[in-house]
Chains A and B, each alone.
Chain A
Amino acid sequence: AQSVTQLGSHVSVSEGALVLLRCNYSSSVPPYLFWYVQYPNQGLQLLLKYTTGATLVKGINGFEAEFKKSETSFHLTKPSAHMSDAAEYFCAVSDPFRAGTASKLTFGTGTRLQVTL
């Protein structure tokens, strides 16, 4: 079974400050890892994903995440926060080795990012 833990249900940063959202996972096989963003009253949008290869993954809107196998982590970062980054962020994992489950995601409970002036 897979699971995802997101530390901190709420994170508040000042505009221009570093954004760091934490995600740790548990998986018995090398997983695929994802970060999604959810703006109010909208569906989830994919920010970035890790499948194989380079462990530092760059996504949209200046976000990036690094897969660290030894730490079972996939933390999301952005050097400088924008007001428009305020949203809910979800980390997710999938098992690419089971037939039909590559797109079946297990989500964390989410981190709400607040950006202040």
Chain B
Amino acid sequence: NAGVMQNPRHLVRRRGQEARLRCSPMKGHSHVYWYRQLPEEGLKFMVYLQKENIIDESGMPKERFSAEFPKEGPSILRIQQVVRGDSAAYFCASSPGGINEKLFFGSGTQLSVL
């Protein structure tokens, strides 16, 4: 049973470009969480999705950021018109759902904006 898979591991973008980060949850998991880790900081919650639904996006910046988790395929975190301040490690986690369920984290995508 493969773990949470994120790709790419490293992504370099120039200011103004779009970044697409992918997350394939563990088999059987229908809940996905995205977190962002800025340098020297802890992880900050961004968004919580279930299949085809955004449950909680209270941590998402109001502009340029969007997330989806379609019925088929991976969850996508999309950042439009990236700026240098978007440079961070973006982690995805999945769980099978239900209260008290354990989160399983991917290895993250390191986004660097030049």
Chain A: residues with CB nearer than 8 A to chain B? Answer: 4, 6, 9, 32, 36, 41-46, 49, 51, 90, 96, 100-110
Contacts and interface: CB of A to CB of B under 8 A. Distances in A.
A44 B105 contact: yes
Interface stretch (B14-22, B41-49, B68-76, B77-85): B41-49
A32 B56 contact: no
Given A101-B56, A103-B95, A108 B42 contact: yes
A102 B100 contact: yes
Contact of A103 (B33, B43, B44): B33
Contacts of B42: 4, 6, 90, 107-110
Interface residues of B, number: 26
Contact of A96 (B93, B99, B108): B99
B63 interface: no
5 contacts: A43-B93, A44-B43, A102-B101, A103-B102, A110-B41
B55 interface: yes
Nearest to B105: A43
B25 interface: no
Contacts of B106: 43
B72 to A, nearest CB: 23
Interface string B89-105: 00101010011111101
Given A44-B43, A90-B43, A105 B56 contact: no
A106 B45 CA distance: 7
A26 B48 CA distance: 22
Given A104-B45, A104-B56, A96 B100 contact: yes
B67 interface: no
Contact of A107 (B4, B44, B55): B44
Contacts of B45: 104-106
A112 to B, nearest CB: 10
A101 B31 CA distance: 11
B30 interface: no
